[in-house]
Amino acid sequence: MQRPIPLRVRLLGELQLVGVDGKALALPASRKTRALLGYLIATGQVHRRERLCNLFWDGPDDPRAELRWSLSKIRALLGDGSRARLVADRERVGIELGDALVDHAVVRSLAASSVSAATTKVLTETVALFGGEFLDGLDLPLCYRYQEWCIAEREAMSQLRFRVLAALIARLEDVPTDALPYAYAFVAADPLSEAGHAAVVRLLGKMGRTNDALVHYERAHRIFEAELGAPPGEELKAARQVLRPSPIAGARAAPSGAARGTPDDAPRPAASGPMVGRDAERTSIDRLVGMAADGGPDVILVTGEPGIGKSHMLGYFSERMAAAGGRAFTARAFEAETARSYGIWIDLLRSVQRQRPRNGLPSLLGPLLPELGGGEGGIGDRTQLFDAIVDVFHGLAADAPVGIALDDVQWIDDASASLLHYVARRTEAAPVLSSPAQRVLEKSKTISRYHGCCARSSAMAD
């Protein structure tokens, strides 16, 4: 007999309780009640009612009555098939969680032992639990005792997260493609961390991505001067000094899995392994790719749960584009690089540059690709930049149909989403077919705005 799924509690991020049926429980509307629930779960202790009143209702009203009301909401919540229960008598209150899985407790257990002694697998699983700030959105500034406790806990969790990230970066230093996402996550969490920026520069250099490393160094330099009024310290300068210049402008090692193209003289991409039970989707892709040359639908939206085969479908899309005499360029977004503006497009354009070196790319793209020159002033006229990118794909499509396959677009930034919409709209009449893939379980406000442009095209769910 299969063991029932336990209650899962998320405290690192917005408070969430997922019941034994796999559905998120509807939390009380009162912020103070939710804060009380988070406090009882995080502390894992039984508290005197008087203490809870002092923490949350230290005022002229009847604090005990307020506490009773909040506890009634919590009791009703936990009684809804969660296998946890509120334990309360006239003097004390606590929550018995049973076999519930609490992210905060897992992270705390690591802090109680030793980060250095933990296995890499444990560290990787732990860092994945940090979905946001501790009890995000449950600040109570007027309840200063609770607020001070919450701030202290957030600081403790933040410091532990940095320790785990630093440990992963150090352990994976010899495998820079694996270490880089953790370095980017470090910088995203603390943009003023010199150690984090130095790690990014150092790892990019080890991967042969010298231009990217130089761009990141310059960006970090500007951040430190703007925010701290001082240039970077010795650690970041040392990472910069060991970079070796690329022998040819724009040449660098291709990032593993980040961007690939299908040049005329290269093997055509093939979807790895058999695709079972995907006949309808493959038929749709075959039909839409066939229509692309005649200016047919311009977008194929691939959605699905993690691991269900979205990347596989993009591989099939690229294969069919090549079989139809066209070419496909692919790029992928990463959760750890969400702070990297236009990141997915930079990878995509560099794949175009590598596979079509004779055509070259216009200097107008210099703000995104410093190796082209002309980007010293940063991104000025965004419309001019967007039009230059559209012109690139129009030029490629003049010879043969072009496919743009973008994986994991739930992680792209606002600017990348705007550009995706713009390219899809401006290439409607050209044989350019875009195929973004997104996890349906990830709620992305950024990419959700893009879905509207797919209404006239073909949306396909994995």
pLDDT tens digits, 1-38: 455 568 899 999 999 999 878 889 999 999 999 999 99
Q: Write down the mean pLDDT value for the chain.
A: 81
**Band of residue 80 on the pLDDT scale cut at 50, 70, 90:** low
Say which CATH number the domain at 324 has: 3.40.50.300
Q: What confidence tens digit (pLDDT) does each residue in 415-430 have? A: 888 999 889 888 888 8
Contact between 379 and 345 (Cβ < 8 Å): no
- Same domain? For 289 and 416 the reply is yes
- Same domain? For 268 and 416 the reply is yes
The domain boundary residue, chosen from 192, 218, 251? 251
Comparing CA positions, the residue from 32, 292, 229, 290 lying closest to residue 140 is 32
| Residue 377: per-residue pLDDT | 53
Q: Considering only residues 446 and 207, tell me which one the structure prediction assigns the higher pLDDT.
A: 207
Q: Considering only residues 448 and 275, tell me which one the structure prediction assigns the higher pLDDT.
A: 448
- Same domain? For 284 and 245 the reply is no
**Band of residue 111 on the pLDDT scale cut at 50, 70, 90:** confident
The Cα angle at residue 112 between residues 106 and 118, in degrees rounded to 5: 75
| pLDDT over 50 at 274, yes or no | no
311 in a structural domain = yes
Q: pLDDT exceeding 90 applies to what percent of the chain?
A: 38
| Residue 291 tokens, joined | 């229509």
- Same domain? For 195 and 289 the reply is no
Say which CATH number the domain at 188 has: 1.25.40
162 in a structural domain = no
Provide the sign of the torsion angle of the four alpha carbons 233, 181, 170, 238, taken in this order: negative
157 in a structural domain = no
At what angle are helices 194-206 and 176-189 packed, to 10 degrees? 160
Most confident of 170-174, 232-236, 273-277, 358-362: 170-174
| pLDDT over 70 at 380, yes or no | no
- Same domain? For 433 and 340 the reply is yes
Q: Write out the residue range of the structural domain in which residue 96 sits.
A: 8-124+126-144
- Same domain? For 303 and 321 the reply is yes
The rounded distance, in Å, linking the Cα atoms of 204 and 388 is 27
Percent helix, strand and coil across the chain, each rounded to 5? 50, 10, 40
The rounded distance, in Å, linking the Cα atoms of 200 and 343 is 14
DSSP 192-206: T-HHHHHHHHHHHHH
Distances in whole angstroms, Cα of residue 378 to Cα of each of 184, 250, 299, 374:
21, 18, 30, 9
- Same domain? For 190 and 319 the reply is no
- Same domain? For 268 and 386 the reply is yes
| pLDDT over 50 at 256, yes or no | no
Overall average pLDDT of the 183-198 stretch: 92
The domain total for the chain is 3
154 in a structural domain = no
Put simply, whether the predicted model's pTM sits higher than 0.85 gets the answer no
Most confident of 34-43, 267-276, 443-452: 34-43
- Same domain? For 315 and 421 the reply is yes
| pLDDT over 90 at 295, yes or no | no
Strands laid side by side in the 47-48 sheet: 47-48, 92-96, 85-88
| Residue 372 tokens, joined | 């082209």
- Same domain? For 449 and 423 the reply is yes
- Same domain? For 233 and 278 the reply is no
| Residue 252: per-residue pLDDT | 34
280 in a structural domain = yes
